[in-house]
Amino acid sequence: MSIGQTPPQPLQKPPGYRDPAAPVKPPPPRKATTLPPSLQLQNKNNTFCRNFCCGVSIVAAISLLFLLSALGFFLLWFEPRLPEIHLKSIDFKKFNVATTPDGLTLDAQSVVSVEVKNPNSNLRMEYDRTRIYVNAVKGDTNLGQVTVPGFLQDKNNVTTLKFNTRAEKEILESKVAEELNDGFKNKKLLMNVEIESGIGIKSSGWATGTVEVKVHCGGVSLDQVQEGRAASAAPKCRIKILDWVYLN
């Protein structure tokens, strides 16, 4: 090197250069992530809810299976059947259409005879307080009504019930009054008998309680239900229970 010359400068390393001979430092250990207390509580609540819902579902399924099994056993063992109801007769003791200061009115008294048969050989039938309505089909005129107490019917039993109905001062239109008079005289007056009650079943040591039912004996003429007619011709009645209609 000649005097006065500057010694060469070492080359600078580029940015990001790493010496391959340098020892590799291990990365610092990662810190465990800790959830906030609010999120921890939420996870615990979700787990509890899932376990609770699962437990309730299992209990409900077992209970339903048990109830279905008990119902199947009950139906197979007792073979429960609805009562059979027939309208035997309607005997009018009074039927008077009169002109009053209020207009045309009807006073009527009748004896309604209904036959109730319990076809079950292992079960007794329980009946709640019963309401009976008699009305004419044309004009839907009230011809009498009454409420009677309930009763218990033995198994394989046929019971004939008689109800005294009464209607007083029923206001009539002139056309309806004429139709009622004519229909009553020629025995062609069409009538409905409506019965509202509750029916249940009983056996030794247990009872189901009663369920509301409606019985409809409708569209029968007076000559079909007059006293002394053959019992085999008694019109059948429909029983409506839980929105189903059974025809006896």
Q: Per-residue pLDDT tens for 187-203?
A: 999 999 999 999 999 88
Same-domain check for residues 58 and 104: no
How do residues 89-99 score in pLDDT, each as one tens digit? 999 999 999 99
Q: Let me know whether 68 and 113 are in one domain.
A: no
Structure letter (DSSP) for residue 161: E
Q: Domain limits at 137? A: 84-247
Which CATH number does the domain housing residue 90 bear?
A: 2.60.40
State whether 114 and 55 are in the same domain: no
pLDDT range class, residue 39, cuts 50, 70, 90: very low
- Whether 62 is covered by a domain: the verdict is yes
The pTM score is 0.67
**Residues 102, 142: one domain?**
yes
User: Is residue 205 situated within a structural domain?
Assistant: yes
Task: Quickly list H helices, the chain.
Answer: 37-78, 174-185
**Do 94 and 69 fall within a single domain?**
no
With cut-offs at 50, 70 and 90, classify the pLDDT of residue 139: low
Would 23 be classed as within a structural domain? no
Q: Which residue has the higher pLDDT, 29 or 161?
A: 161
In this structure, are 143 and 97 located in the same domain? yes
Q: Please report, for residues 36, 79, 124, 150, 208, the alpha-carbon distance to residue 197 in angstroms, rounded to integers and kept in the order given.
A: 64, 22, 16, 8, 15
Where among 78, 103, 132 does a domain terminate? Answer: 78
Looking at the fold, whether 142 and 198 belong to one and the same domain comes out as yes
The pLDDT > 90 percentage for the chain reads 44
Question: Does the residue 159 lie in any domain?
Answer: yes
Residue 6 pLDDT exceeds 50: yes
Strand, coil or helix: 134 = strand
* 193 and 241 assigned to the same domain: yes
Q: Is residue 11 part of a domain?
A: no
pLDDT tens figures, 183-241: 999 999 999 999 999 999 988 888 888 999 999 998 889 888 876 565 556 788 999 98
C-alpha–C-alpha distance, residues 103 and 94, integer Å: 19
**Which of 27, 60, 78 is where one domain is finished?**
78
Q: What percent of the chain has pLDDT over 70?
A: 71
Band of residue 152 on the pLDDT scale cut at 50, 70, 90:
very high
Q: Both 73 and 110 in a single domain?
A: no
If you average pLDDT over residues 147-168, what whole number do you get?
A: 93
- Same domain assignment for residues 58 and 161: no
Domain count, the chain: 2
